Structure 1
Amino acid sequence: MNEIAPQGQRKAREPIFNVPATVAVLVGLMWAVQVAADLALDDYGLGALRIWFGFIPDRFVAPEQWPGGMLPLIWSGFTHAFLHVDYMHLIFNTAWLAIFGTPVGRRYGATGVLTVFLLGALAGALVQAAVIVFVVNQFAVLIGASGGVAALTGAAMRFIFEPVVVRRDEFTGEIVPVGRRTATLTGVFANPRSRAFIIFWMGLNVLIGFSPMITGTNIAIAWEAHIGGFVAGLLLPSLFDAMARGRQRP
């Protein structure tokens, strides 16, 4: 067998707490933004920060009511991922980021992590906007890394439950592990472990959608953005692997 390890993956096993530098930087940046805003901004300043850098779907339908009109939509689909409601929100998102960003970072490198995270954040924001504008017709400001983190979770589902690929070293004849296969989309749902995780994850997010009614709070969790990000992340490894195969061709 002469299999090739996916780009960015050099070893089949790594220490579980060996977080890639890109993931550590993302976590550190989110904490820096939260702490700086907490220390430097009053309520008015915090509101302005969220208006300019949070994602506001209402800008699509009533841009004249918001500072900057539609212009902040250029960046807020990404920047909302670095803002959080409070420290509990931040702790949960950065912990999940470290858990699922780590295997994606080891497999696809820094570029892969950033691509999945940022496109997942954007996909989550756009799905949330579509639901808010066309279905429920209500006001919301989307902040939090959940869409990007969900995308990393979706991307990880394509390989973390797959068998380890091995090859025979051409010089020593030793059988050595080189990584895990990327499952097809059909294969992800055929694998009992990844299928069970996805069903549990989706069910949990649908339940989260009812959390304001259950808890009596006025802060809704953007479960639609979670699902939008997850689906984007589930699709992206196919693109990464196709690009890697293209670079390997003479």
Structure 2
Amino acid sequence: MDQPPGNPDQSAAATGGPPTCYRHPGRETGIRCTRCERPICPECMVDASVGFQCPDCVREGSGTGHSPTANQPRTLAGGTIAADPRLVTKVLLAINVALFIAVLATGSRLVGDLDLIGLARDYRTYQVVGVADGQWYRLVTAMFLHEEIWHIGFNMLGLWWLGAPLEAALGRTRFLALYLLSGLAGSALTYLVAAPNQPSLGASGAIFGLLGATAVLMRRMNYDMKPVLVLLALNLLFTFTWSGIAWEAHIGGLVAGVALAIGLVHAPRKHRALVQWGTCALVLAVVLVMVLARTATLS
């Protein structure tokens, strides 16, 4: 017979053991409801768009409970559950593909105008160009720019495979912030470390940010970590063994993605917005510091 809900971690606190199901106190479990975070056993788990929910939250979400937020279901990170949980992923993919088609149509001219470069002379006009010359937009435009079919192919597969579940788990706004800030961090580290006349382009920094965030999310959901860790190890192997890869963008994006995901999925519910957007602001501040520091050395 089901037990009435109480303190979800009361038995765990008393025994020092793992949490037990809030409806079946004798059953240990490592799974929690994605909405209320109470421990739930396999019998009580109800499939949701992301993870599992407890029976009480399912009833509230269907409008049969008495919660004032019954008709406002939320994602794991507190975002609004959208009718199309992959919309932002699709839009980002479309932007990348559209720019790739534009590059094919215009040749290298568009690449020279939008790629990431610290400071150099334009081979067409022999004018000084680059981020250090005030063209900060290159930090963003380079994130959506590709020249080779294999390059955009790998990155867009990664965006679709990793982006769709992350967007469903985080919500549109938080997912977009994760993608853009991870990409910016990759651009900033490249600008800081690489030679000022070394061009760089591609969505790899943002994709590595999604990969790092996926690892954090899977750990948060108590899923098997082996697949994502193997994928991460293989990508890092390619990063440091293949020629022509800007490792700085990969590492910058990865570190930013992990930091952002920790703030997004582990934020306490009481101060969720403050912690989440504070984490985003902190990552953006680090990006600005790197860019300003490098610009000062090149001025």
What interval of TM-score do these two structures reach, taking the shorter chain for normalisation? Answer: 0.5 to 0.7
Map of 1:5 onto structure 2: 34
> Relative contact order: is structure 1 or structure 2 higher (C-alpha 8 Å, sep ≥ 6)?
1
The alignment's TM-score, normalised by the length of structure 1, stands at: 0.66
Partner Cα distance (2:169, 2:152) in 1: 25
- Give 1:246's aligned residue: 271
2:252 aligns with 228
Correspondence list, 1:115-154, <5 A: 115-132=177-194, 137=195, 139-154=197-212
Specify whether residues 150 and 58 from structure 1 end up closer, same or farther in structure 2 by C-alpha distance, changes over 3 A only.
Answer: same
Give the conservation status (yes or no) of the 8 Å contact 1:53–1:72: no
Structure 2 counterpart SS, 1:95: helix
1:20 corresponds to: 86
Determine if contact 1:118/1:148 at 8 Å carries over to the other structure: yes
Distance in 1, Cα, partners of 2:254 & 2:273: 29
Hey, what does 2:217 align to over in structure 1? 159
CA contact (8 A) 1:151 1:231 kept: yes
Distance 2:118 2:228 in 1: 30
Runs of 4+ in 1 over 6 A off after TM superposition: none
Q: 1:209 is paired with a residue of what secondary structure?
A: helix
Q: TM-score, normalised by structure 2?
A: 0.56
Is 1:70 matched with 2:94? no
- Which of 1 and 2 has greater Rg? 2
Q: Tell whether the 8 Å contact from 2:50 to 2:168 is kept in structure 1 after alignment.
A: no
How far, CA to CA, are the matches of 2:101 and 2:48 in structure 1? 36
RMSD over aligned CA atoms reads 3.3
Q: Residue 204 and residue 23 in structure 1: after superposition, are their counterparts in 2 closer, same or farther (change >3 A)?
A: closer
Q: Give the number of the structure whose residues are more often helix, by fraction.
A: 1
Q: In structure 1, list runs of 5 or more residues that go unmatched.
A: 163-179, 182-190, 213-219
Please list, as runs of the form range in 1=range in 2, the aligned pairs for 1:73-222 lying within 5 A after superposition.
73=136, 75-132=137-194, 137=195, 139-162=197-220, 180=221, 194=225, 197-198=228-229, 201-202=232-233, 204-212=235-243, 220-222=244-246
List runs of 5+ in structure 2 lacking aligned partners: 1-7, 9-21, 23-31, 37-46, 53-83, 121-126, 275-299
Q: What is the percentage of aligned positions where both structures have the same residue? A: 24
Task: Work out whether residues 190 and 248 of structure 2, in 8 Å CA contact, stay in contact via their aligned partners in 1.
Answer: yes
Q: Is the 8 A contact 1:6 1:108 kept in 2?
A: no
Q: What residue in structure 2 maps to residue 37 of structure 1?
A: 103
Give the conservation status (yes or no) of the 8 Å contact 2:208–2:254: yes
